[in-house]
Amino acid sequence: MVRAAAFRYDMVMRKTWVAVAAVGLFFAVEIGLRISGAVDFPLYDADSEIGYIPKANQSGSFLRRNDWQFNERHMGVPRPYQPGGVLLVGDSVVLGGNSYRDQERLGPLLQQALGKPVWPVSAGSWALRNELAYLRRNPDVVSGAEQIVFVLNDADFDQASSWSCEYTHPRSSPWVATYYIARKALCPACGSASTEMQVPSGDWRLELKAFLASPQVKAKTITFFLHPRLEQLSNSRKLHDLTRFSDALRQVGAVHVFNIGDDARWKSEFYKDAIHVTANGNAVMARIIKARILSAIGGFS
């Protein structure tokens, strides 16, 4: 009896210490993740018109290294919006993402190249229809821009992207960082958008044609840059396929359309994956954009 009681006590104590150790390990990991900045990433607003967009008036530093910020107009800059300069519109190529420092992103690099303010508006996996929704919501931003520059790839000519889950476009900071990161790592895919978050289907051609014909845009120079995927850049036939989007853009009223892959300076070494580019690639892209708009349009006022 004494031995049995002692054995049961020993087992209870072992389980207790294991539980205490597990709880201690959990809190150590949780605190470590928060101190490291692993959950210091941009948050999003979402609805069924624009899909999603980085929240206004936020800033941070992912992993305490890669700084980011958005002003009161959801633009990826720290300064308040003022009319003038270049409105740069795009998807994750313009946004950059968590793996870039602010000075490595396309917007700041293009601003440095042009020597005038650049106002980046973007979100990861945005399509052209998401971008046009932002422009319709912010007519004063459109009116205030000296020039509007779009950076697009072939996936952007699809339907608008809708918000579907917290693991790609979080709307609030996670309560439990450990669970959030583990869930994202083990099951990164999101399901379909809910009915209330689904952006209705539409035709980008009709929406872009209406935008280009609007009074505040007709007198402006709108420039479109098609950015090839790595697969397209390494295959001349697939790169040539991008010309159908150039033709489609011109058919709805676009005048200045350029393929970044046609520029001899653009190399496969600038890709970090199938579509996104390195910091050096962003710098070269900024120079290509500058050269094209200045040579074709004759500079800025």
Residue 260: domain span = 80-166+202-297
CATH of the domain at 285: 3.40.50.1110
pLDDT at res. 62: 81
The count of structural domains within the chain is 1
Select from 129, 116, 118 the least CA-distant residue to 199: 129
Tokens for 297? Answer: 């349009």
pLDDT digits (tens, 9 = 90+) for 31-69: 776 777 777 889 999 999 999 999 999 999 988 888 999
Query: Per residue in 138-171, pLDDT tens?
Result: 999 999 999 999 999 999 999 999 999 998 899 9
pLDDT tens digit string along 272-284? 999 999 999 999 9
pLDDT at position 291 is 94
Instruction: Assign 222 a pLDDT band (cuts: 50, 70, 90).
Output: very high
Of 27-36, 79-88, 204-213, give the lowest mean pLDDT range. 27-36
If pLDDT is split at 50, 70 and 90, which confidence band does 184 have? confident
Task: Tell me the C-alpha distance between 264 and 121, whole Å.
Answer: 27
d(CA 218, CA 148): 12
- Domain assignment present for residue 235? The answer is yes
Q: Are 161 and 130 in contact (CB under 8 A)?
A: yes
Q: Is residue 9 part of a domain?
A: no
Within a domain: residue 29? no
Q: Is residue 152 part of a domain?
A: yes
When the pLDDT of each residue in the chain is averaged and rounded to a whole number, the result is: 89
Beta-bridge mates of residue 226: 152, 259
If we measure between CA atoms, which residue out of 92, 111, 137 comes closest to residue 227? 92
Query: At residue 255, does pLDDT exceed 60?
Result: yes
Whether the CB-CB separation of 92 and 153 falls below 8 Å is answered with: no
- Determine if residue 115 is left, alpha or beta; phi over 0 gives left, psi from -120 to 50 gives alpha, anything else beta: left
pLDDT-based confidence at 301, cuts 50/70/90?
very low
Residue 186 lies inside a defined structural domain of this protein: no
Contact 138, 49 (CB under 8 A): no
Helix (H, G, I), strand (E, B) or coil at 61: strand
Please give, one letter per residue, the 3-state secondary structure of 66-124: EEEEECCCCCCCCCCCCCCCEEEEECHHHHCCCCCCHHHCHHHHHHHHHCCCEEEEECC
Looking at residue 259, what is its pLDDT?
93
